[in-house]
Copies of this chain bind each other. A is one copy, B any other.
Amino acid sequence: MNANNAQPAAVVLLSGGLDSATCLAIAANEGYACTALSFQYGQRSVAEIDAARRLVTTYGADHRIARVELDQFGGSALTDKSRDVPETPSEGIPDTYVPARNTIFLSIALGWAEILNAKSIFIGVNAIDYSGYPDCRPEYIEAFQRMANLATRASVEDGRVVHIRTPLLHATKSEIIATGHHLGVDYSNTVSCYQADEIGRACGRCDACRLRRQGFEQARIPDPTIYA
User: What is the total number of copies of this protein in its complex?
Assistant: 2
Contact segment of A54-62, A67-75, A169-177, A180-188 = A67-75
Main secondary structure of the interface of A (DSSP, over half): helix
Q: Are B150 and A112 in contact (CB under 8 A)?
A: no
Q: Select from chain B the residue with minimum beta-carbon distance to A145.
A: B147
Check if A108 is an interface residue, CB within 8 A of chain B.
yes
Give the complex CA separation of A147 and B74 in angstroms: 23
Neighbouring B residues of A148 by C-beta, 8 Å: 103
- 10 A-B pairs besides A67-B67, A68-B68 with CB distance below 8 A are A67-B69, A68-B108, A73-B114, A93-B153, A93-B156, A99-B111, A99-B115, A103-B111, A139-B150, A143-B149
Interface residues of A (CB under 8 A from B): 64, 66-70, 72-75, 92-93, 97-104, 106-108, 110-112, 114-115, 134-135, 137, 139-140, 143-144, 146-153, 155-157
